[in-house]
Every structure is written in structure tokens, then in C-alpha cells.
Amino acid sequence: MALFVTLLLLALPIGPAHTQSNLPSMGEPADNALSPIEEQAIGRQMMRQIRSSLPLVRDTQLNEYINTLGQQLVQASGRQSNTFTFFIVQDPNINAFAIPGGYIGVNLGLIEAMQYEDQLAGVLAHEIAHVTQRHHARMFAVGKSRSLSAAATILAAILIGQASPEAGQAALAAGLAATQQSTINFTRSNEIEADRIGIDILNSAEFDPSAMAESFAILQRKNRLNTSGLELEYLRTHPLDSKRIAEAANRAANMSARGRDTQVDFELFKARMRVLNTQDAGALELREAARWKKQPSLASAYALTLLHLNKKQLDKASEWMDRLTGLNNNHPAVLLLEAELTAAKGQSTDSREQLTLLHALFPERYSILEMLLDQVIEERQLGKAQELAKNYLRYSENPNPNAYRTLANVQQQLGEAAASHETLAYYFAELDEYGRAASQLELALVHVPVGSQDELRLRASLNVVRGVSPR
């Protein structure tokens, strides 16, 4: 794993899970330095800091895509899907990283650099392997004697570097001065192991295993073309050379060759990403129109429809929507954009019918339910909204935490104070904000009868949350 994140472990206090460190080791030597429970506690603390310090992408559809792709790979690794969380950092710099506890972040810049879904999957599989092989615990074992001041410097490099590569590089240089060459070499061995395991994950998930070497080659080429004079952020934390690329290619060559499946999901994901994160919508429109003129594609039609919709140019949006549905009229992302355009035209009933049908076809996609809930709530159909949200939370395997927040808002409007606070507690717990979850449960207790079943349930939940929350 990246040296950045390894040294960060040293700077973070460990919560109540630290009491587990006296237990006898049940196998891997890394447990003596950092138990799995401690890893999870550290990961939760790091993720809270990331959420408060880095500009994360909030768009539901973009997050839905990256998590769906990530969970497909996690399942192929033999792990349970609910043990990993994937997120996107709104940063043009090329980077991806894993932290303890199964949290994996990818910068917009790295996603944009990938040409195929298989290549992005290769990057994610590599980061998943860092977690499954417990590289954090191993690095903690060899680096635990390092000074906390150096670790704090590296922590600063992570956060500062996201906003300013130059400032991050300066902070990194100061931190690296305190490291030992043996630790850097150990990091390279972790990278090679993550390549090997990651390629196996790619193959098991039925992606092209050669895509990992391709993604490395792209990053190496981007680094050579980089005019800033600084090494790509990803390569500073993931040592890469031609030997590693060749080894990854050779390993993939020994596996059965796979063709590339259709890239519709990936193409629409990148098109939406470009539109929502552009700093110059006019220039992007010209580029997408030029792409369409050269070769009509689903991605360009989607991007141009969304661009015009965002600018309230509904006639032009409708024209591009017709071209888009002419290319593909059954993909959920296309149909969802069509429903959004229908609503923007003032045809709320038609839009709601479209969304209701979509939700029935794709009940796991919160992006569809989110838009449907917004419409139902706006029309003051609060009972219907509550039913929709509860059913989603009850039956979804990995529900979006925002569903809890929306349900809590509906319950508050219905005058159900205790239920609203309890639901908000679930929302904060999903975000690892256990202190705030405990506060909501305490507020819920104020609104239930003393000695009731509701009080017993809430107090039991409060005890669980307090047991997880760092002291």
C-alpha cells in the first residue's frame, strides 16, 4: 500500500478496539502489530477525516456506478460486498488509494485517464488486493517505531496534495526524509503482490486480466507527458517501473484471453462525469458535438442532452434525447435522464409514471428511487414516500445511506419525532459518525414512553453505538 497511508496509521489514535491487542495471534504475524478490529477502527477514523477534508463526488449515479463495479470485484475476491466502500474524489490529479477497513478512493483524474472499464476495474482490483492481503497491518509492523512527527507530515501530504500537488510534494519530501529505505522496498513488494492478486480478481470477475498492465502503461505514459515536473500522485504512492508492467502482462498472458464486453455503463458514467465536473460547459459542448460529428456515440448524445438540460435549454435537450434513445432506449441511465427531462418540461405525472416503472425494474438503484422520492415528497404524498423508502431499506442488500436521511426528513414532516431521530442515527452510523448517531438516539429517547418496548430498543441500539464510537 502507499507509503502515504501507511505512515498515516502511526498518526491516528486507536479507539476502544485497542483492548483487543492483548489477544493471542491466531495466525498471521501482522495481527501482532495491528488486529483486524484495530484496522477497522483506524479505517473508520480515516474515512471520517476524508469526508470532512476532501472534495468527494456527491452525485448518486456516479457513486452508484463505482460501487457496483467495485462490489463486483469484491465478490470475485471471495469477500462479502458489504465490507468495502468505494468513493470518488473530485480531483483532476491521477490517484487512487485504499485505507484500512476496505475504503477505496479514486480521483476523477485517474478515471478520465482510463480508456476501458476493464482498465478501471484493474486499478480497483489492485487496491482491493492491498486490503485483502492486509498490507496496512504489515507496513504498520515494520514502521511502528517511526516518529509520530514524520507520520503527521505524511498525513498533511495526503490532504494538502489533493488540493495543491506542489504543496503536497513539499510536505511529502519532508516526511520521506524520516523514512527508511527498507520500508520503501517493502512497499514495492506489496505492490507486486497486489498486482498478482488483483489480476486473479480481474479474471474471476470475468474482466480482461491484461487490462491491469494496460492501466499501468497508461499511467506511465501520462507521467512522461506530465509538464509540471512532478511525478504523478499515483506513482509517488505506487512505485511503478517497466519490470512491473511486464510481469503483470506476462501473468495475464497465462490466463484465458477474454474479449471486452460492451462498455455502455462505463461510457455513460464518464460522459456524466465530464458534464457534472466541467469548468467550461461551452467548451465541453463544442468538444462533444465534434465527437458526435466524427462518430455518433451514446456517450456524446448523453453528454449533450445533460448539458442542455442543465442549462434549461429544453428544446435542444429534447432533440439530443431523441438521438440518445435512438441509439439505446432501454438502459436505466438513459431512461432516468429521459424522466428528468420530462419533469423539467412540467409533465410531472408522466415523469412519475416513468420513474415508478423504472424503480420496479431496478429496485436496487437508489438513483431512480431518489428522483421518485423527490417528486412524491414535493407533491406532499408523505405516506407514499415513507413506504417507498422503508421498502428500499428493508429489501436492498447494500442500501444507499442517503435513503435514511430522506426517510428521517419524511418522518419529521409526519410528526414522528422519535422515528425521525432513530432513522437519522442509522444514517450517521452508516457514515461511521457514531458520536452523532448516539446523539440522535438520545434525542429519540426523549419522545418515547419510559419502560416501553421502544425505549428498550433505543437503549440497546445506543449501547451498541457507544461501544463502536471512539472515546
DSSP 230-283: S--HHHHHS---HHHHHHHHHHHHTSPP-PPPP-HHHHHHHHHHHHHT-S-HHH
pLDDT digits (tens, 9 = 90+) for 160-192: 454 454 544 444 444 444 443 444 444 677 788
**Per-residue confidence (pLDDT) for residue 274, from 0 to 100:** 96
- Provide, rounded to the nearest whole percent, the portion of the chain with pLDDT above 70: 75
pTM of the model as a whole: 0.82
The band of 25, judged by pLDDT with boundaries at 50, 70 and 90, is very low
Model confidence band, residue 346 (pLDDT cutoffs 50, 70, 90): very high
Question: Is 359 a residue whose pLDDT tops 60?
Answer: yes
Question: CA dist 413 to 114, 278, 427, 460, Å?
Answer: 45, 36, 17, 26
Range of lowest pLDDT (106-110, 179-183, 200-204, 368-372): 179-183
* Of the listed ranges 17-21, 281-285, 435-439, 442-446, the one predicted with least confidence: 17-21
What confidence category does residue 26 fall into, taking pLDDT thresholds of 50, 70 and 90? very low
Q: How many angstroms from the chain centroid is the CA of residue 259?
A: 27
Cell numbers for 71: 462490489
Q: What pLDDT does 76 receive?
A: 92
Pairwise CA distance, residues 442 & 459, whole Å: 8
Which pLDDT band holds residue 95 (cuts at 50, 70, 90)? confident
Q: Is the pLDDT of residue 134 over 80?
A: no
Q: What is the pLDDT of residue 172?
A: 43
Work out the angle at residue 111's Cα, subtended by the Cα atoms of residues 109 and 116, and round it to the nearest 5 degrees: 140
pLDDT at 328: 92
In terms of pLDDT, which residue wins out, 415 or 195?
415
Q: Considering only 154-158, 383-387, 456-460, which range has the smallest mean pLDDT?
A: 154-158
Closest CA to 125 of 248, 34, 275: 248
* The pLDDT of residue 87 is above 70: yes
Placement of cell 483487543 in the chain: 20
Confidence check: pLDDT of 325 > 90 = yes
Residues 331 and 368: their CA atoms lie apart, in Å, by 12
Q: Vertex 395, ends 348 and 408: CA angle to 5°?
A: 60
Work out the number of other CB atoms within 10 angstroms of the CB of residue 235.
18
pLDDT at 72: 94
Q: Is residue 339 a contact partner of residue 371, using CB atoms and an 8 Å limit?
A: yes
Point out which residues pair with 88 in neighbouring strands: 106
Q: Tell me the per-residue pLDDT of 443-466, one tens digit each, with 9 for 90 and over.
A: 999 999 999 999 999 999 999 988
In sequence order, the 6+-apart residues with CB closer than 8 A to the CB of 216 are 240, 244, 245, 248
Q: Which helix (H) or strand (E) holds 36?
A: helix 36-53
What's the mean per-residue pLDDT of the chain?
A: 81
Residues in the chain: 471
**C-alpha 39, offset from chain centre:** 19
Of 158, 179, 180, nearest in space to 169 by CA: 158
Nearest CA-CA partner of 9 in 53, 49, 51, 55: 49
Whether 320 has a pLDDT exceeding 50, the answer reads yes
User: How many angstroms separate the Cα of 54 from the Cα of each of 270, 321, 393?
Assistant: 21, 34, 28
First to last CA, the chain: 28
pLDDT in tens, 298-315: 999 999 999 999 999 999
Domain ranges for the chain, please list them. Answer: 3-253
Q: Is the pLDDT of residue 398 over 90?
A: no
d(CA 208, CA 125): 12
Looking at 26-35, 64-73, 74-83, which range is the least confident one? 26-35
All residues at 6 or more sequence positions from 315 whose CB lies less than 8 Å from its CB, including other chains: none
| Least confident interval from 5-14, 82-91, 366-375 | 5-14
Place 138 in a pLDDT band, splitting at 50, 70 and 90.
Answer: low
The DSSP bridge pattern shows strands 103-107 and 96-99 to be: antiparallel
The arithmetic mean of pLDDT across residues 101-112, rounded, is: 91
Which pLDDT band holds residue 79 (cuts at 50, 70, 90)? confident
DSSP at 89: E
Give the contacts of 287 (CB within 8 A, at least 6 positions apart).
none
pLDDT of residue 416 exceeding 50, the answer is yes
- The pLDDT, as a whole number, for residue 141 is 57
